[in-house]
């Protein structure tokens, strides 16, 4: 088991290296630079700035320098916010984005698994069609549509919940979390249904029923573990998607999370900031996928011992 | 007071006497109807039977005869909503099982009536430890604590022949062999001390020697625990060995029932007779015997060795096996699963790579060939596999399936010539040419196997390798397919390697027989000689088991 984990982690390193390299050269290849503002600066100033941030060196040297700093855990200074390092800036956004992603994941799993299970127990009945058509709607509705709709209904018409912010007034975390989580809830519902339907047809389910177990007993004790396998495999990419995909929701609801920094950094050509957020997020994606894989192996006793 | 006790005692005694004279389960006119895509068909038609306390009842029939459906119907385990019980009663302790509500039925399932299913591989939950599955019915239906249930389970597991049960309690199903898993299933079914045990094809998925152990175990457990046993099987040999009474089912109808001994001695119904006749328990028919001792050798294999690596440990699947097949001869290879029969046949065709060995087909050393030359030689050897459905592409018509190798090897040019050849082949294997445009799922298992055989002989091979070709078929169909193969071998002058775990079938088919065990060929010789005077202990054991079954 520990061998697989180690192997998977080692496999992640080249992936990250490719991401770092591609991003590094791509942002530099994009037209414009960090100091091109509407008001053009005197050539002397630009030259000084480039010297200060080591941008006058050949690109390859910059790359090697950057990698060297990276290994030491230094993301460098931000080009846009002088006197603040990228690490500091990210640190202010990360907890908020993580919290948002966590609530969204909880909502997605609870709603998704529950409605998938309910639908699978009586396939092709109202109990199946109702949650599944809701799920389809959830998949089709993008966050930038669902978010404002929820704000309109619950924030403006009903005045139940605040329309924006994060941690300023009670209940302002609900709408962003629901907006972010609902699409994933829909995916998870469909995956759960498919997985459960397959497991419920297996012979061992008949054995469980022949033992005298009730339907909930059969579902929870015998079917759920196998039926959730696809969901577990999906959960890695899903959580990664929640983390990286939150910038739309963060923008709609004015949340000072990581996503906002990311978007602004891209507009401002804040090279180090783009690099920092990209590296952080790709690290998370790689890690979460590894965790999901390990979890999937651990859940299946046959795989657990075969390796 | 004294009088009162005496009275209750008397009442009690009378009740006991009444109860013991009553059958424990009495089924009357059970009828089950399936509706599939608007079409209805009666899977079980007015089935009636009684079973007494401690008695063993056999329900025999071929696939689709409704034997499993009737058992599942009793416990409300029919597939919903496709199946519906449309009539009848099943009286168990004063209540009609067929009319009980789900909640009441759950108190009977697994507690009073428990089941053992066919495939222990798929009937146990792969995600849950064996022990936890065994104790589950007891924890569900009684107030015993987890520790008590565990003690009881370990005791039972030891009883059904699982040694070191305390340790194996925590293992998962995949760590158990098929036979061991079936033993655990039996322990699981008995743990609540049920009144009736329904065993649905409990040995069909197991090897011959294991089959016999499991049957023995079922019988012993039945006697020890005093349960009534309903044994569902397609295998007459199995039913004959253990049952007191017998119901023979054909297409949903009980065509005959009575004492097992009587039914076997003097079958009253023609279908029962047909079933009995279908078991080929005779030597190879004279007309098909291979006589030309001096015929040239078709295939010679020398010192074949195949090793696999399983979990980084080398495993010898075939160990130094040599044999030869003459032209027109049928060589039978018998052995249990895992004995290396199939691997050996694949090694001959170089479908798996050999570690050592030489194969001579006619005058070509196959083991030295590669690429196009190997493909040309492979054409001369064709295979027929066990599962006829799985080996035919469901999206191709029968015509296209048979025509494919003809086109591939350019055995006929032009659409008409190909079709003419396909029609001839279909006639050869006893299929009506009108069916050429049908798809495999429209055929029965036996007909599919005929299609597979037609495809195999389409390229005019020298050697046919039939790997368990009838194991998935019903007994009456088995005989037809076996006779077809013998007929083709004789008419087309083919040689055949016939692989099977079933000794009776091999005896009927083979001129010479080779016995495989653990990858080695432990004995070979003229079929009748080997069966009459087996040299090796293992062969003797196999042959004696076969004799009991007859």
pLDDT digit string (tens) for B204-257?
777 777 888 888 888 888 888 889 999 998 888 888 888 999 999 998 999 999
Q: Which two tokens stand for residue B152?
A: 């009881």
- Residue-wise over A52-62: b if at least 16 C-beta within 10 A, else e? ebebeeeeeeb
Asked if residue B153 has pLDDT above 90, the reply is yes
Return the pLDDT at B539.
87
Return the pLDDT at B5.
56
> Across the interface, do B77 and A207 touch by the CB < 8 Å criterion?
no
Query: In which residue ranges of chain A is pLDDT below 70?
Result: 1, 37-39, 305-307
Q: Could you give the 3-state DSSP secondary structure of residue B83?
A: strand
Q: Could you give the 3-state DSSP secondary structure of residue B127?
A: coil
DSSP string, B232-283: EES-HHHHHHH-SEEEEEETTEEEEEEEHHHHHHS--SHHHHHHHHHS--SP
Return the pLDDT at A258.
86
CA distances to A125, B123, B342, B350, B358 from B366, in Å: 59, 43, 18, 8, 8
Q: Are B517 and B485 in contact (CB under 8 A)?
A: no
Q: Which residue of A has its CA nearest to B136?
A: A211
Asked if residue B334 has pLDDT above 80, the reply is yes
B463-467 vs B495-500, strand pairing mode: parallel
Find the CB nearest A207 among B106, B117, B172.
B117
Residue of A195, A197, A204, A228 to mutate when probing chain B, most B C-beta within 10 A = A204
Extents of the domains making up chain A: 86-306
Q: How far apart are CA B416 and CA B238, in angstroms?
A: 50
CA angle (B149, B151, B152) in 5-degree steps: 65
Q: How far apart are CA A286 and CA A301, in angstroms?
A: 24
Q: How far apart are CA A223 and CA A199, in angstroms?
A: 6
Q: Which residues pair with B35 in a beta bridge?
A: B40
Q: Are B115 and B71 in contact (CB under 8 A)?
A: yes
List pLDDT tens digits, range B489-526: 988 889 999 998 888 889 889 999 999 998 899 999 88
Provide the pLDDT confidence category of residue B88 given band limits of 50, 70 and 90.
very high
Find the CB nearest B107 among A208, A212, A226.
A212
Q: Report chain A residues whose CB lies below 8 A from the CB of B114.
A: 210-211
> Across the interface, do A204 and B122 touch by the CB < 8 Å criterion?
yes
CATH topology for the B24-120+195-278 domain:
Rossmann fold (3.40.50)
Query: Nearest CA of chain B to the CA of A203: how many Å?
Result: 5
Q: Is the dihedral of CA A247, A252, A257, A260 positive or negative?
A: positive
Return the pLDDT at A248.
86
Query: Nearest CA of chain B to the CA of A202: how many Å?
Result: 7
Q: How far apart are CA A122 and CA A196, in angstroms?
A: 11
Nearest to residue B253, comparing CAs of B475, B43, B41?
B43
Q: How far apart are CA B5 and CA B3, in angstroms?
A: 5
The residue among A194 and B308 whose pLDDT is bigger is A194
Q: How far apart are CA B399 and CA B411, in angstroms?
A: 15
Q: Are B281 and B479 in contact (CB under 8 A)?
A: no
Q: Could you give the 3-state DSSP secondary structure of residue B310?
A: strand
Domains B24-120+195-278 and B286-293+328-350+366-549 share a fold: yes
Write out the CATH class of domain A86-306: mainly alpha
Return the pLDDT at B133.
95
Q: How far apart are CA B418 and CA B403, in angstroms?
A: 7
What is the ipTM for the molecules in this complex? 0.76
Give pairs for A264-270: CB < 8 Å, separation 24+.
A264/A80, A265/A80, A268/A34, A268/A79, A268/A80, A269/A27, A269/A30, A269/A32, A269/A33, A269/A34, A269/A36, A269/A79, A270/A34, A270/A78, A270/A79, A270/A80
Q: How far apart are CA A159 and CA A147, in angstroms?
A: 15
Return the pLDDT at B245.
94
Find the CB nearest A214 among B77, B106, B108.
B106
Q: Are A131 and A124 in contact (CB under 8 A)?
A: no
CA angle (B252, B253, B256) in 5-degree steps: 140
> Tokens 């079922």 belong to which residue?
B218
Q: Which residue of B has its CA nearest to A218?
A: B125
Asked if residue B316 has pLDDT above 90, the reply is no
For chain B, give the mean pLDDT. Answer: 87
Nearest to residue B403, comparing CAs of B442, B459, B447, B441?
B459
The whole-number average pLDDT for the span B443-463 is: 90
The helix (H) or strand (E) run that includes residue B45 is: strand B39-51
CATH topology for the B286-293+328-350+366-549 domain:
Rossmann fold (3.40.50)
The residue among B165 and A31 whose pLDDT is bigger is B165
Return the pLDDT at B499.
93
> Across the interface, do B110 and A299 touch by the CB < 8 Å criterion?
no
Extents of the domains making up chain B: 24-120+195-278, 286-293+328-350+366-549
């Amino acid at each position: 088991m520990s061998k697989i984990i180690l192997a998977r982690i080692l496999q992640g390193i080249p992936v990250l290296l490719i991401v770092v390299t591609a991003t590094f050269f791509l942002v530099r290849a994009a037209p414009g630079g960090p100091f091109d503002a509407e008001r053009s600066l005197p050539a002397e100033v630009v030259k000084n700035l480039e010297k200060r941030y080591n941008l006058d060196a050949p690109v390859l040297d910059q790359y090697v320098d950057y990698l060297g700093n990276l290994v030491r855990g230094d993301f460098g200074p931000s080009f846009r916010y002088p006197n603040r390092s990228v690490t500091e800036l990210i640190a202010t956004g990360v907890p908020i984005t993580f919290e948002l992603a966590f609530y969204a994941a909880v909502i997605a799993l609870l709603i998704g698994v529950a409605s998938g299970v309910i639908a699978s127990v009586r396939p092709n009945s109202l109990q199946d069609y109702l949650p599944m058509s809701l799920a389809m709607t959830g998949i089709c509705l993008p966050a930038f549509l669902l978010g404002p709709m929820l704000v309109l209904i619950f924030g403006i018409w009903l005045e139940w919940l605040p329309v924006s912010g994060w941690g300023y007034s009670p209940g302002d975390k609900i709408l962003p979390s629901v907006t972010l989580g609902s699409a994933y809830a829909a995916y998870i519902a469909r995956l759960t249904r498919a997985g459960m339907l397959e497991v419920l047809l297996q012979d061992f389910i008949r054995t469980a029923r022949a033992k005298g177990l009730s339907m909930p007993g059969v579902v929870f004790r015998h079917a759920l573990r196998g039926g959730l396998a696809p969901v577990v495999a999906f959960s890695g990419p899903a959580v990664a998607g929640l983390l990286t995909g939150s910038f739309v929701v963060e923008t709609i609801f004015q949340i000072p999370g990581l996503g906002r920094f990311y978007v602004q950094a891209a507009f401002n050509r804040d090279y180090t900031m783009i690099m920092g957020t990209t590296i952080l997020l790709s690290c998370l994606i790689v890690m979460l996928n590894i965790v999901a894989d390990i979890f999937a192996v651990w859940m299946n006793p046959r795989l657990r011992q075969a390796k | 007071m004294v009088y009162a006790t005496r009275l209750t005692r008397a009442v009690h005694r009378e009740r006991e006497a009444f109860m013991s004279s009553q059958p424990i389960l009495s089924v009357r006119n059970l009828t089950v109807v399936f509706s599939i895509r608007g079409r209805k068909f009666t899977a079980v038609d007015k089935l009636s039977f009684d079973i007494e306390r401690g008695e063993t009842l056999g329900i025999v029939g071929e696939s689709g005869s409704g034997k499993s459906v009737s058992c599942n119907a009793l416990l409300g385990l029919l597939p919903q909503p496709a199946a519906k019980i449309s009539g009848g009663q099943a009286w168990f302790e004063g209540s009609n099982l067929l009319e009980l509500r789900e909640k009441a039925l759950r108190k009977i399932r697994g507690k009073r009536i428990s089941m053992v299913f066919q495939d222990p591989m798929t009937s146990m939950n792969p995600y849950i430890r064996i022990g936890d599955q065994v104790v589950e019915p007891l924890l569900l239906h009684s107030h015993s604590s987890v520790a008590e249930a565990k003690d009881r389970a370990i005791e039972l597991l030891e009883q059904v022949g699982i040694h070191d049960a305390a340790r194996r309690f925590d293992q998962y199903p995949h760590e158990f062999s098929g036979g061991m898993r079936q033993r655990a299933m039996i322990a699981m079914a008995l743990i609540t001390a049920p009144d009736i045990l329904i065993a649905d094809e409990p040995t069909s998925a197991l090897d011959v020697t294991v089959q016999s152990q499991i049957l023995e175990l079922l019988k012993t457990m039945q006697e020890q625990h005093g349960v009534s046993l309903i044994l569902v099987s397609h295998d007459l040999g199995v039913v004959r060995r253990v049952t007191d009474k017998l119901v023979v089912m054909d297409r949903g109808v009980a065509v005959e029932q009575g004492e097992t001994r009587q039914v076997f001695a003097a079958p009253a119904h023609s279908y029962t007779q047909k079933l009995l006749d279908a078991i080929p328990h005779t030597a190879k028919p004279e007309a098909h015997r291979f006589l030309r001792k001096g015929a040239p050798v078709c295939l010679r294999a020398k010192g074949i060795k195949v090793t696999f690596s399983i979990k980084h440990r080398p495993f010898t699947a075939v160990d130094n096996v040599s044999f030869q097949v003459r032209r027109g001869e049928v060589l039978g290879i018998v052995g249990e699963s895992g004995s290396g029969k199939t691997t050996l046949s694949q090694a001959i065709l170089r479908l798996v790579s050999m570690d050592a060995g030489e194969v001579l087909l006619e005058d070509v050393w196959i083991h030295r060939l590669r690429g196009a030359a190997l493909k040309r030689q492979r054409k001369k050897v064709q295979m027929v596999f066990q599962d006829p459905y799985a080996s035919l592409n469901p999206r191709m018509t029968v015509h296209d399936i048979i025509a494919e190798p003809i086109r591939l090897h350019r055995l006929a040019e032009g659409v008409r010539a190909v079709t003419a050849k396909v029609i001839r082949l279909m006639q050869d294997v006893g299929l009506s040419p009108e069916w050429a445009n049908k798809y495999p799922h429209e055929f029965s298992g036996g007909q599919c196997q005929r299609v597979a055989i037609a495809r195999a002989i389409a390229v005019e091979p020298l050697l046919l390798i039939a790997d368990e070709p009838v194991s998935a078929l019903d007994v009456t169909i088995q005989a037809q397919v076996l006779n077809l193969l013998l007929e083709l071998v004789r008419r087309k002058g083919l040689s055949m390697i016939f692989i099977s775990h079933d000794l009776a079938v091999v005896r009927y088919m083979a001129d010479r027989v080779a016995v495989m065990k653990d990858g080695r060929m432990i004995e070979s010789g003229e079929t009748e000689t080997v069966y009459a005077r087996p040299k090796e202990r293992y062969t003797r054991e196999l042959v004696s088991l076969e004799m009991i079954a007859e």
